[in-house]
């Protein structure tokens, strides 16, 4: 490279320090930096607990919904939809016919074995939550809870 050995050694040391600095910066950005949202852990949002009064203010309950499942079997269900805040709950109340339609559409696409048991109800609640979030202009649905369910096979 250069004829002077001292310059060669200095350049090698300078490149090594730069490389170590870049690697340390990447590690710091990736692993050691605290999440911007204190409620987020490992990149996933952690639900914070709310009081019963706050829960009531942001929860919309549907009336009993009766519909046929994909196989023609009857299901009778009632859901509580927890919104992100009171504004989202108000929007849900205004869109209540769409909420009921979404629940019916989701349930009518399922078979009885898909809605039975704890895993089945989790699947139903998750599907309803996903579809309802598509309806909203602002905000989101935090949770959907089944409060009543009867499947007539």
pLDDT at residue 3 is higher than 90: no
The pLDDT score that the predictor gives to residue 122 is 92
Give me the mean pLDDT over the 126-152 stretch. 91
Rounded distance between C-alpha atoms, residue 140 and residue 6, angstroms: 63
Q: Residues of 86-116 as b/e, b for ≥16 C-beta within 10 angstroms?
A: eebbebbeebeeebeebbbebbeebebebbe
Give me the mean pLDDT over the 5-12 stretch. 89
* Contact of 81 with 59, CB cutoff 8 Å: yes
pLDDT tens-digit series, residues 106-134: 999 998 888 888 898 999 999 999 999 99
**Residues paired with 79 in a beta bridge:** 146
pLDDT tens-digit series, residues 64-99: 999 999 888 899 999 999 999 999 999 999 999 999
Rounded distance between C-alpha atoms, residue 41 and residue 45, angstroms: 6
Rounded distance between C-alpha atoms, residue 138 and residue 135, angstroms: 9
The pLDDT score that the predictor gives to residue 35 is 61
Give me the mean pLDDT over the 59-67 stretch. 92
Instruction: Fold for 52-152, please state it.
Output: Tetrahydropterin Synthase; Chain A (3.30.479)
Give me the mean pLDDT over the 34-54 stretch. 65
């Amino acid at each position: 490279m250069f004829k002077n050995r001292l310059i060669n050694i200095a350049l090698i040391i300078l490149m090594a320090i730069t490389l170590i600095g870049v690697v340390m910066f990447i590690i710091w950005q990736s692993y050691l930096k605290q999440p911007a949202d204190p409620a987020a852990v490992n990149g996933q949002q952690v639900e914070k607990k709310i009081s019963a009064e706050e829960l009531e203010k942001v929860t919309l309950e549907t009336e009993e919904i009766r519909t046929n499942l994909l196989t023609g079997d009857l299901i009778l269900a009632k859901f509580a939809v927890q919104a992100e805040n009171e504004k989202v709950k108000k929007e849900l109340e205004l869109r209540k016919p769409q909420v009921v339609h979404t629940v019916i559409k989701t349930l009518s696409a399922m078979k009885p074995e898909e809605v039975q048991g704890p895993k089945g109800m989790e699947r139903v609640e998750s599907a309803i939550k996903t579809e309802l979030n598509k309806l909203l202009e602002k905000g989101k649905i935090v949770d959907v809870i089944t409060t009543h369910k009867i499947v007539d096979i």
